[in-house]
């Protein structure tokens, strides 16, 4: 019978079996791993075969990893040639962003959305800490809301302090397995705490937030939602290192560019300074948001330089 991985700490895994419930498991010694370039061959959300470990109290062995329906991969921060499977077998993903303390840049949002498009995982954005919005953040929120919902990404506005927007978010999450991602300190664990009343995830004291370097959540972990579906809390990430994406395919992962690609004069148009480019023309007419086009160019450059 299949068990699902709820937490992975490197050598031990918390898994849930439909009959046995939760248990601690480790990988069976000799084990064929196809995915040798990954820093974590078993990821949260993976479906695995387990058996009871002989001679050990209540521990299980993972004997097989089942084929993933999908996954999100990012470049391993410390080992640039390897990748890290953020989570597997997802229905959707949620990027938690904040406009200050810390500030999430549009470039970061667009990189995350690009990765979700590449892995065919529907994505939404939640802008948290709306209790701390000043006029400037209100304006920025409205601009993001218009731009991203135009492209087809739902945008939520929440506060982990006042509870604003939690009900709307709840209905979007219901019954689905959602990856929750974003910079450190944006309030991922705080929001998950609110969505799961019986859980008390570790979050950082407000006074302890120094802006950089401190991560409260250190392992990805999945939590069942009371009415079906689950949330996967993840440690904050500073940047989303894209893997598995060819520069030539990048424009396909921007839905706002994708719909116009047929209009370019050249099949292999990079949409930079080629003649007859439908993308640049649409940017000039204001039909594609300039910020999105800038993100496209920045990501293209980083892919082409292998950065
Ligand atoms: N003002 C305000 N503070 C918030 C809100 N949500 C979370 N915080 C605070 O922001 C800090 C970081 O919250 P966490 O939930 O730990 O952030 P995280 O995204 O899980 O961070 P990592 O686990 O490091 O990735 C804590 O001090 C929270 O109390 C919010 O909506 N408004
Ligand atoms: Mg956290
Ligand atoms: Zn073009």
Residue 301 has pLDDT above 90, yes or no: yes
Report residue 260 as tokens.
């116009």
Percent of the chain that is helix, strand, coil (3-state, to 5): 30, 25, 50
Percent of the chain with pLDDT over 70: 91
**Tens digits of residue pLDDT in 64-81:** 999 999 999 999 877 778
- CB within 6 Å of ligand 1 — which residues? 128-129, 131-132, 159-161, 182, 184-190, 203-206, 209, 215-217, 235-236
- Best probe residue, ligand 1, of 99, 141, 160, 213 (max atoms within 8 Å of C-beta): 160
pLDDT confidence of 236, banded at 50, 70, 90? very high
Output the average pLDDT for the chain: 90
Query: What angle (nearest 5°) sits at the alpha carbon of residue 86, between those of residues 21 and 145?
Result: 110
Residue 307 has pLDDT above 70, yes or no: no
Residues forming a β-bridge with 156: 126
Ligand 1 atom 16: the closest Cα is on which residue?
203
Residues forming a β-bridge with 123: 93
Q: How far is CA 82 from CA 12, 75, 237, 264, in A?
A: 21, 6, 16, 35
Atom of ligand 1 nearest to the CA of 205: 27
| C-alpha span between 53 and 34 (Å, rounded) | 23
Task: Mean pLDDT check: name the lowest of 86-90, 91-95, 202-206.
Answer: 202-206
Q: What is the pTM of this model?
A: 0.93
| C-alpha span between 44 and 199 (Å, rounded) | 18
Which pLDDT does position 14 carry in this prediction? 93
Percent of the chain with pLDDT over 90: 76
Ligand 3 centre and the CA of 49: distance in Å?
47
**Tens digits of residue pLDDT in 155-203:** 999 999 999 999 999 999 999 999 999 999 999 999 999 998 676 665 6
Which pLDDT does position 33 carry in this prediction? 60
Atom of ligand 1 nearest to the CA of 206: 27
| C-alpha span between 109 and 185 (Å, rounded) | 15
Q: Which residues contact 172 (CB under 8 A, 6 or more apart)?
A: 124, 154, 156
| C-alpha span between 94 and 141 (Å, rounded) | 17
Angle in degrees, 0-180, between the axes of helices 166-173 and 188-195, rounded to the nearest 10: 80
Tell me the domains of the chain and their CATH numbers.
Answer: 2-65 (2.40.50.140), 71-233 (3.40.50.300), 247-304 (1.10.40.50)
Q: How many residues does the chain have?
A: 307
3-class secondary-structure state, position 289: coil
Ligand 3 centre and the CA of 300: distance in Å?
13
Q: Which residues contact 187 (CB under 8 A, 6 or more apart)?
A: 96, 98, 128, 129, 160, 203
Which pLDDT does position 206 carry in this prediction? 38
């Amino acid at each position: 019978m299949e068990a699902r991985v709820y937490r992975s700490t490197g050598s031990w895994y918390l898994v849930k079996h439909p009959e046995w419930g939760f248990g601690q498991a480790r990988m069976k010694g000799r084990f064929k791993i196809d995915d040798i370039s990954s820093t974590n061959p078993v990821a949260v959300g993976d479906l695995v075969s387990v058996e009871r470990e002989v001679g050990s109290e209540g521990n299980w062995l993972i004997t097989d990893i089942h084929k993933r329906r999908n996954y999100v991969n990012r470049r391993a921060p410390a080992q640039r040639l390897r990748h890290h499977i953020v989570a597997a077998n997802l229905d959707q993903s949620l990027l938690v962003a904040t406009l200050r303390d810390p500030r999430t840049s549009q470039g970061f949002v667009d990189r995350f959305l690009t990765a979700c498009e590449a892995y065919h995982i529907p994505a939404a954005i939640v802008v948290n800490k709306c209790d701390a919005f000043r006029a400037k953040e209100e304006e920025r929120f409205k601009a993001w809301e218009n731009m991203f919902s135009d492209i087809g990404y739902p945008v939520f506005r929440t506060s982990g302090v006042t509870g604003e927007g939690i009900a709307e978010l709840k209905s979007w999450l219901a019954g689905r397995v959602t990856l929750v991602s974003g910079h450190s300190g944006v309030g991922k664990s705080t929001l998950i705490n609110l969505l799961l009343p019986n859980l008390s995830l570790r979050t950082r004291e407000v006074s302890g937030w120094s802006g950089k370097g401190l991560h409260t959540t250190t392992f990805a972990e999945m939590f069942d939602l009371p009415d079906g579906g689950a949330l996967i809390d993840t440690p904050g990430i500073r940047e989303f290192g894209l893997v598995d994406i060819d520069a030539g395919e990048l424009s396909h992962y921007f839905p706002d560019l994708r719909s116009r690609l047929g209009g370019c004069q050249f099949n292999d148009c990079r949409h930079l300074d080629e003649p007859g480019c439908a993308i640049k023309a649409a940017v000039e007419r204001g039909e594609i948001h300039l910020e999105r086009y800038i993100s496209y160019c920045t990501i293209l450059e980083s892919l082409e330089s292998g950065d």
